[in-house]
Amino acid sequence: MSQAQQDNADRRGLYPPIEPYMSEMIQMDDIHNVYWEVCGNKEGKPVIFCHGGPGGGCSSFDRQWFNPDKYMIVLFDQRGAGRSTPHANLENNTTQHLIADMEVIRKKLGIEKWQVFGGSWGSTLSLAYAEEHPDKVTELVLRGIFTLRRSELETFYDNKGGIQHLFPEAWEGFVKPIPVEERDDMIAAYGKRLFSDDEHVRLTCAKAWSQWEGATSKLLPDPKFVDHYGEDKFALAFARIECHYFNQGGFYPEGHLLANAHKLSHIPTTIVNGRYDCVCPMKTAWELSKQMPHAELYIIPDAGHNSQEPGTKDRLIRATDKYADL
């Protein structure tokens, strides 16, 4: 067996499926009810999982990133996403609201500090939470780094980044609903339509927006994954909430999260990014590691953006295992 084959054979997989022992809808304000759940060890090390999107919601396999014998695992569907209601609602839906929701859950569970784990937009929210509440975070596990800068958004959603040259067929589907004269700012153009009063226009554009990300997320093509991103309910929340956040720069000044990451130097941190991540290109993870020189950076040589690619999965599991006993 070659060294590469041995390395692949030694890669870790997810922990077995597990069901929550507690779940609840919390009314956060006059509009939003947020779903959250807890599984694993009631006396274990607390960790909160921040899902992607924004608007993506949690999946059952997100419980499986953590050793259930050692972790008290907290998952929540962010405002408007997943099981939270009202579905795809944008009112009172900002990064600051999500951070406040995390604090409500932490206090309700009587947790003093917890590990924060997130990928893609989840890495954004994890960083934002840690910068707002650095005394409440024991460790950070971050994957597919995204810091909301305009340059990152343009790389993926506009003609300026070159991603469309790798996925011309998917790009054609993405730009199709937008008139040629509006394609210089795809986020703004989609915003007009995703927030339209016309249900058909909203859904058509939601599917095109969502499937662009689905088609570019994995190193190897996965038609079933792309089809999931085109499902009506998922696509509507995913596209509307993402576009809402991205049109507002995530409700932060330009470059805020990256500029303030050095303040987290006391928090043990693992950063994982696929070498061929087209959704959240490697450059941002590299720049974050320069702001956080204490962090461990792992570049996965055979991975794109998706968390389920073997090398990425392996490194994330190794990180949570290491921190379980810290």
209 lies in the same domain as 317:
no
Catalytic residue among 62, 77, 101, 120: 120
Q: Tokens 């022992």 map to which residue? A: 21
**60 belongs to the catalytic site:** no
Please say whether the beta carbons of 92 and 29 come within 8 A.
Answer: yes
Which of 277, 289, 307, 314 is the catalytic position?
A: 277
**CA-angle at 114, arms to 80 and 64, nearest 5°:** 65
Let me know whether 161 and 22 are in one domain.
Answer: no
Q: Do residue 81 and residue 216 come from a single domain?
A: no
The Cα 76–Cα 232 span in angstroms is 21
Q: How many domains does the chain have?
A: 2
- Of 249, 270, 286, which residue sits at a domain end? 249
Q: Is 210 a catalytic residue?
A: no
Q: Quick one: 124 and 236 in the same domain?
A: no
Beta strands at 137-143 and 114-119: parallel, antiparallel or unpaired: parallel
What is the span of the domain harbouring residue 299? Answer: 3-148+252-324
Catalytic residue, chosen from 123, 210, 305, 314, is: 305
Closest residue by Cα to residue 79 from 136, 141, 148, 29: 29
Side-chain half-sphere CA neighbours of 236 within 13 A: 16
Show which of 231, 249, 267 is a domain's final residue: 249
| Residue that the structure tokens 């809402």 belong to | 244
Beta strands in 19-85 (DSSP E): 22-27, 33-40, 45-50, 71-76
How do the pLDDT tens digits run along the chain, 326 residues long?
333 443 566 899 999 999 999 999 999 999 999 999 999 999 999 999 999 999 999 999 999 999 999 999 999 999 999 999 999 999 999 999 999 999 999 999 999 999 999 999 999 999 999 999 999 999 999 999 999 999 999 999 997 768 999 999 999 999 999 999 999 999 999 999 999 999 999 999 999 999 999 999 999 999 999 999 999 999 999 999 999 999 999 999 999 999 999 999 999 999 999 999 999 999 999 999 999 999 999 999 999 999 999 999 999 999 999 999 98
Q: Is residue 167 located within the same domain as residue 315? A: no
Q: What is the DSSP string of 227-271?
A: HHHTSHHHHHHHHHHHHHHHHTGGGS-TTHHHHTGGGGTTS-EEE
Q: Which residues of 245-274 are buried (b: 16+ CB within 10 A; e: fewer)?
A: bbbebbbbeeebbbebbeebeebbbbbbbb
Q: Are residues 108 and 20 in the same domain?
A: yes
Q: Which of 249, 275, 292 is the last residue of a domain?
A: 249
Q: Name, in order, each residue with C-beta under 8 angstroms of 264's C-beta and a sequence gap of 6 or more.
A: 127, 130, 131, 134, 137, 140, 292
CATH number at residue 122: 3.40.50.1820
pTM for the whole structure = 0.96
Do 140 and 166 reside in the same domain of the chain? no
Q: Has 277 been annotated as catalytic?
A: yes
| Judgement on whether residues 72 and 173 belong to the same structural domain of the protein | no
Same domain, 35 and 116: yes
Burial environment of residue 190 by CB neighbours within 10 A (0 to 12, 13 to 18, 19 or more): buried
Residues 119 and 86 in one domain: yes
Q: What is the pLDDT of residue 300?
A: 98
State residue 157's pLDDT score: 95
Determine the pLDDT at residue 5. 42
> Is residue 223 located within the same domain as residue 207?
yes
Pair (239, 257) in one structural domain? no
